[in-house]
Amino acid sequence: MYKFILLIILVTLSRSVLADKPPHESWTFSFGFENDLFADTDRFYTNGIKLNWISPELKWFEDLEWIKRDAFLSDTLKQFIKLLPYNEDPNRQRHFSFSIGQKIFTPEDINNFNLVTTDRPYAAWLYGDIAFHSKNERQLDTFGVQLGLIGDFALGEEAQDLVHSIRGIAKANGWDNQLDNEIGLALIYDRKQRLIRRTDVKGLFGFDSIIHIGGAAGNVFTHLNTGAEFRIGWNIPTDFGSALIRPAGNTNAPADAHDPRYLSGKDALSFYFFGAVNGRWVLRDIFLDGNTFSDSHSVDKESLVGEFIIGSSMVFKNIKLSYAQVFRSKEFELQRSGQSFGSISISYTY
């Protein structure tokens, strides 16, 4: 699986080096990797990986007459497409995105073969994600669907064993106690709003702030979330901030042609620091609450979970590289302390 992912990255990189397209015709590919090895631990949310493609602008949304005339589309589908946000607003861009990803969760003690009832379950989430994005330079609305697998079929043990083999450390012993196989579904909505953007006279050094609010509903996770991010630095891109591996986290695509990925010379270089806070009101988390349709290991979750994030990012030509350190509060009641992990994101606009 990981060799296949590496091949996709290399192929996409080779395409991005050759491509030179205007913003409305550009794809953005992002690869995200998160792991608590950056905090020298191996527990709780221990690994995440995600590949994401964001399409060029969907020009056909500028004219929906063909939908109204199409005899093969049902009336229900026609009405649904017409209700998509801002579909008749000429000042907004529309994109589709597609993602594949995996997340792995383990208890604190991975040496124990037996079920540890006071610690979080072993679990993995292997999923695909399809989303619709509507945006301008100040606002991004995302509607998405995640569909995937939990249990043996999610390949969590195999993926973690591979990483541990590469790192030369002992494998986790308790995967026989992981959650049962289950199909997972989540519906997602998120809005990001750029509240302020300021630059110096030359338009290079400056800062901006972005807030977000949204939620998800499904048998995998049901929650409401909100947060804010502040960025300061040189030639900050016109995208929507850091891109952690989370629902509706696809933020790397530029919003307009003023982004450094479309400029030349010194204007094609960007470097900035960022800080962010996130909060979730958790109604359901299958990785803590256990399986939906069968009896399984579970623990009492914390209803309110917070995050503090610091990091830096740079853009050179059409490549963006970001690193963030995430500090997360306790997610279940018997958890002894919060967690920290690192998040790397690299994207190519081509």
Per-residue model confidence (pLDDT) at position 18: 38
Predicted local confidence at residue 7, as pLDDT: 52
Q: What pLDDT does 87 receive?
A: 60
**Burial grade of 293 (CB within 10 A; 0-12, 13-18, 19 or more):** exposed
Residue with tokens 């998509």: 84
Residues across the chain: 350
- pLDDT of 204 reads 84
pLDDT by residue for the chain (350 residues), tens only, comes to 444 445 555 554 544 443 456 566 788 999 999 999 889 889 999 999 999 999 888 775 554 555 555 556 556 655 666 666 666 666 788 888 999 999 999 999 999 999 999 999 999 999 999 998 888 889 999 999 999 999 999 999 999 998 888 888 889 999 999 999 999 999 999 999 999 999 887 778 999 999 999 999 999 999 999 999 999 999 999 999 987 898 877 788 888 888 888 888 778 899 999 999 999 999 999 999 999 999 999 999 999 999 999 999 999 888 999 999 999 999 999 999 999 999 999 999 88
Task: Tell me if the pTM is above 0.75.
Answer: yes
Domains of the chain and CATH, by start: 2-349 (2.40.128.140)
**DSSP result, 10-60:** HHHHHHHHH----GGG--EEEEEEEEGGGGT---EEEEEEEEEEEPPP-GG
Q: Which of 29, 85, 20, 19 is nearest to 58 (CA)?
A: 85
The token pair at 192 is 């990001």
Distance CA 347, CA 316 (A): 11
Helix ranges restricted to H, the chain = 2-18, 65-69, 75-83, 156-167, 286-289
Q: What pLDDT does residue 16 have?
A: 46
Q: Around Cβ 291, how many Cβ atoms within 10 Å?
A: 19
